Amino acid sequence: MKPDRTYCQTGDALALIDKATSFYEEGYMFSPQFRNHVWDGRKHLFRKTDKSFPSGLLSHVCLALEKKGLTYSIVTDFELGKITEYHGLPGVEDREYQNEAIHEGLMKHRGIIHMATNAGKTTVMAGLATCVLGKILVLTHRLELLHQTSSRLRDMCVEPVGICGDSSWDDTQRITVAMIPTLSSRMKGDTKKAKFMRTEWIKQFNCLMVDECHHMGASTWYDIAMRCDAPWRFGFSGTPIRTDNRDMMLAAAAGPVIYTTTNKDLIDAGVSAQPIVRFAPIHQPVIIPTKNQDWPDAYKNGIVENTFRNAKGVDLAIRHCKRDEKILLLVTEIDHGERLQKMFECRDYWVEFIHGGCEPRHRKDSLKAFKNQEGGAILIASTILDEGIDIPTIDVIVMLGAGKSPIKMLQRIGRGLRKKESGKLYVYDFLDLMDVDRVPPKRKNQKPKHGFLTNHAIQRYTYLKSQAGFDVKLLEKEETESVLN
């Protein structure tokens, strides 16, 4: 067993191991290769050429062998190196669960640390970094996260931190924070420099930490993580789940989940505000669901260009802004955010829209101005704020982007979970019923054939309703009118 891959010394049970380290790809049944029996529909992480599988899946393989009554032995062919005991971080009062996560990581040397938004996972990163000796590589993917993470690690670890990204390249420090896109770009091609990056540079590190590790289901993330053979390997995420069946790739690259802190844990501990989520039904405009309904058109007409729905969101924001509260309006598409911004033009309120197309300096200045604004303020944001980025205290979130992803919902609500005086975070979403199936069923037990928007809204409501610690309620007609009118 090596840090990145485990090699099988015998040919017995290889088929069993191959199956235990594979999974069905999303939508495999629609693939021509699958239908023509050329492909079995599975993503195989077992490598037949050298009879190896990712070491992060060792527990999967052991369980599969034990179920069949097969015996095995594990020979470790690497050394972890020396570590120091954890005695806290200078000037940082770490919380009990952070301390537990650090000690769990030091004991198991690999795995995913699942910490809900606002848990302070960078503190856990810093704690591990101060104990694990040797060079450390921290991977992230966004410009703001690159600077935010490096700055915090520098302060908490009290040592220089190198940056690889944003036109900078400093890998001379013990700790290096690097952007996935930057590394991917440098590793592409057949040049000597690219080959050096792929085969030598990435192997100089003794510890790998992957922030927002739920992205490791993507090939670029996974390939870079697997090229690094660091014996200490950790993934960090508030939502280490995927909706495309690729959860196994997270474990393959980092290991199984070894520690969990949930939103409810943080709410009960007084660390996070309690989300008060209210879904308001929207029926306009009426969209007839058809068998050939087109998702882009449904989203454009029912969400982005839905003047009625947008006006309700704007009115909600203004109502709370009058109470000197700070409101975050979240959208998915830039066009949607621009439409909302125009609806505020004749109103005397501080309103700004930030998105991925803005200059980084503009985004940074806008967030600072939002924080320092006296009284109420309204910030419209696209998916640029979905992950990890710290923003000032938010009193209200209005979710106008729709969609169905449970990961994105929790991440977006997480932007406002920082503890506040009221102890509450108010979140508004819309139960989009524009394309509800209005045709009476022809037979008993026949399920309604709702359109995309209705189905997605129901999924959002059902998922948030299942979250422990969240107060989620569907507004009745009278309550809807009092909130939206």
Q: How far from the centroid of its chain's Cα atoms is residue 353's Cα?
A: 22
Q: Which residues of 330-360 are buried (b: 16+ CB within 10 A; e: fewer)?
A: bbbbbebbebbbebbeeeeebbbbbbeebee
| 74 occurs within a structural domain | no
Residue 133 lies in a domain: yes
DSSP 329-345: EE-SSHHHHHHHHHHTT
- The answer on 254 and 278 residing in a single domain is no
| Residues 355/405, Cβ–Cβ less than 8 Å | no
User: What is the C-alpha separation between 270 and 274, in angstroms, rounded?
Assistant: 9
Helix (H) or strand (E) holding 280: strand 274-282
429 and 475 fall within a common domain: yes
| 144-184 confidence digits (pLDDT tens) | 899 999 999 999 999 999 999 999 999 999 999 999 999 99
Q: Looking at the domain assignment, is residue 301 inside a domain?
A: yes
DSSP class of residue 444 equals T
Q: How far apart are CA 56 and CA 6, in angstroms?
A: 9
Query: Per the structure, how many domains does the chain have?
Result: 3
Q: Rounded mean pLDDT of 88-99?
A: 92
Closest CA to 331 of 351, 348, 354: 354
On whether both 323 and 463 belong to a single domain, the answer is yes
Does residue 91 or residue 224 have the better pLDDT? 224
Q: Alpha-carbon distance 447 to 439, whole Å?
A: 11
Neighbours of 266 (CB within 10 A): 24
CATH code of the domain in which 434 resides: 3.40.50.300
Q: Return the structure tokens found at 178.
A: 């690097």
Residue 445 has pLDDT above 70, yes or no: no
The answer on 345 and 417 residing in a single domain is yes
Quick check: is 302 in a domain?
yes
pLDDT tens digit string along 255-274?
999 999 999 999 999 999 99
Q: Is 29 helix (H, G, I), strand (E, B) or coil?
A: helix
Q: How confident is the model at residue 384 (pLDDT cuts 50, 70, 90)?
A: confident
Q: Is residue 446 part of a domain?
A: yes
Same domain for 294 and 187? no
Contact 199, 173 (CB under 8 A): no
For residue 462, the SS3 value is helix
Residue 403 CA to residue 460 CA, distance in Å, equals 8
Residues 184 and 297 in one domain: no
Residue 322 DSSP label: T
pLDDT at 69: 92
Domain closes at, from 261, 280, 313? 261
What is the Cα–Cα distance from 261 to 240, expressed in whole angstroms? Answer: 12
Q: Is residue 76 part of a domain?
A: no
Q: What pLDDT does 404 receive? A: 85
Q: For residues 360 and 424, state if they share a domain.
A: yes
Across 8-17, 288-297, 390-399, least confident range: 288-297
Q: Strand 396-399 vs strand 326-330: parallel, antiparallel, or unpaired?
A: parallel
Say if residue 353 is in the same domain as residue 413. Answer: yes
Query: How long, in residues, is the chain?
Result: 485
Q: How far apart are CA 306 and CA 72, in angstroms?
A: 61
Mean pLDDT over 183-189 rounds to: 95
Beta bridge partners of 208: 137, 233
In this prediction, residue 390 has a pLDDT band, given cuts at 50, 70 and 90, of low
Using an 8 Å Cβ cutoff, are 432 and 302 in contact?
Answer: yes
| 356 assigned to some structural domain | yes
In a domain, 81, yes or no: no
User: What's the chain's average pLDDT?
Assistant: 90
Confidence of residue 224 (pLDDT cuts 50, 70, 90): very high
The model's pTM: 0.87
DSSP state letters, 75-102:
--------B-----BTTB---HHHHHHH
Tell which wins on pLDDT, 197 or 244.
197
Between residues 121 and 289, the one the model is more confident about: 121
Query: 433 and 296 in one domain?
Result: yes
Provide the β-strand partners of residue 163: 177
260, β-bridge pairs = 114
Residue 105 is predicted with a pLDDT of 97
In this predicted model, what pLDDT tens digit does every residue of 45-76 receive, in sequence order?
A: 999 999 999 999 999 999 999 999 999 999 98
pLDDT of residue 477: 66
Residue showing tokens 């005695």: 87
For residues 363 and 455, membership in a common domain is answered with yes
Q: Which of 67, 83, 115 is the last residue in one of the domains?
A: 67
pLDDT of residue 283: 87
Residues 150 and 242 placed together within one structural domain of the fold = yes
pLDDT at 198 over 70: yes
pLDDT band at 410; cut points 50, 70, 90: confident
> Does residue 444 register a pLDDT over 70?
no
**CA nearest 251: which of 460, 468, 467, 63?**
63
Q: Residue 179 phi/psi, 5° resolution? A: -90, 135
End of a domain among 240, 261, 282? 261
Q: How far apart are CA 171 and CA 162, in angstroms?
A: 5
State residue 388's pLDDT score.
59
Determine the pLDDT at residue 345: 86
- Taking a C-beta distance cutoff of 8 angstroms, is the pair 251, 226 a contact? no
Same domain, 242 and 329: no
Can you give the residue range of the structural domain that contains 28? 5-67
Q: What is the CATH number of the domain that holds 52?
A: 3.30.780.20
Q: What is the pLDDT of residues 350-375, one digit of tens each?
A: 999 999 888 888 888 998 899 888 88
